[in-house]
Amino acid sequence: MISLRDVSKAYPRAGDALRGVSFRLRKGEFAFLTGPSGAGKSTVLELIHFQTRPTEGEVQVSRYNSRRVRRRDIPALRRRVGFVFQDFKLLERLTAAENVAFALEVIGTPRREIAGRVQRLLSQVGLAARASSRPSELSGGERQRVAVARALATEPRILLADEPTGNLDPDAAGGVFELFRMLNHLGTAVLMATHDADFVRRHREIRRLELQGGRLVGDSAA
C-alpha cells in the first residue's frame, strides 16, 4: 500500500534530510515512526502525502508513484491518505462540527449529506456532544479528536499522524492513541511519528521504524 524505495531527500541549504530509506507498510498495518528531533520523521510523512518529492528513489502510495504522479492526481491521493498534525490545524473561528464540515465541503460532498456525515464522524471519535464548541473551548485531546474526525472525512485507507500526542498530557495522549488503534482495527493503516520513547516501549506489539540522521536504523518487523 505504501512503499519507499531507496528514498533520499535533500534540501537546498539544510542538506540531506533522508538517505536511502526503504520500507513498506501494508494494508491495515500500524507502525510507529521514531527517532530524535531532526531524524526525518516529518519528511517521511510529507513524502507519503506527496507534499514533497524525493530527490532520489521513489515513493509509491497505492497506485500513485512519485516519479509519475501528475499534479492533478494529487488531490485524489490525499483523499486516500488522512493527515493529523501535532498542532491540530483547526480553524479557530469554526465549531468542531464546522471544521469537519469544511473538509467535506471542499472535496465536493453534496450539501444535504454533510450534516449527517459530520455527526457520524464526531461520534466515531467520541465527540458528538461537543459538536458546537469552538477549538478554544476544547481540551487538547478533544481538539486532536476533531482533527482526526476531519482527517477521516475523506474515508482514507491510510492515516498519517505527525506527533499527534506531542501537545497532549499523558491521559489525553493515551486516549488519542486508543482512537488510532480502534480505527486501525476497522481497517485503516496508521503510520504515527512520535519521539515519545515511553509510549513506544509500552506497545512492543506495534511495529517500529526507527530513523536516525535521515537513515532507517531499525525496523522491528524486519
Which residues are at the interface with other proteins (CB under 8 A)?
A: 49-53, 70-72, 74-79, 83, 89, 91, 102-103, 106-108, 150-151, 153-154
Which residues would be at the binding site for ligand ATP (CB under 6 A)? 11, 14, 17, 35, 37-43, 195
Beta bridge partner(s), residue 128: none
Tell me: does residue 42 bind Mg ion (CB under 5 A). yes
Binding flag, residue 34, Mg ion (CB under 5 A): no
Q: Computed from CA positions of residues 123, 48, 86, 176, in that sequence, does the dihedral angle turn out positive or negative?
A: positive
For residue 47 the three cell numbers come to 513524502
In the numeric block, which cell numbers belong to residue 85?
498534525
88 phi-psi bin (left φ>0, alpha ψ -120 to 50, beta other): left
Smallest separation, CB 186 to ligand ATP (Å): 27
Least Å from the CB of residue 96 to ligand ATP: 26
Q: Least distance from C-beta 201 to Mg ion, angstroms?
A: 20
| Sign of the alpha-carbon dihedral angle for 113, 162, 78, 137 | positive
Q: How many CA atoms lie within 13 A of 18 on its CB side?
A: 30
Q: Would you say 25 or 211 has its CB closer to Mg ion?
A: 211
Looking at beta carbons only, is 4 or 97 nearer to Mg ion?
4
Q: Which residue has the cell 498542532?
A: 87
Instruction: Pick one of Mg ion, other proteins, ligand ATP, none as the site partner of residue 14 (Cβ within 5 to 8 A by kind).
Output: ligand ATP
Of 129 and 217, the one with the shorter C-beta distance to Mg ion is: 217
The rounded distance, in Å, linking the Cα atoms of 124 and 148 is: 10
- In the complex, the smallest distance separating the C-beta of residue 103 from other proteins, rounded to whole angstroms, is 4
What's the min distance (Å) between Cβ of 61 and other proteins? 13
Q: Which does 37 bind (CB under 5 to 8 A by kind): Mg ion, other proteins, ligand ATP, none?
A: ligand ATP
Complex with ligand ATP: residue 5 or 215, whichever CB lies closer:
215
Residue 60's identity, in one-letter code, is: Q
Burial environment of residue 190 by CB neighbours within 10 A (0 to 12, 13 to 18, 19 or more)? buried
Binding stretches for Mg ion (CB under 5 A): 42
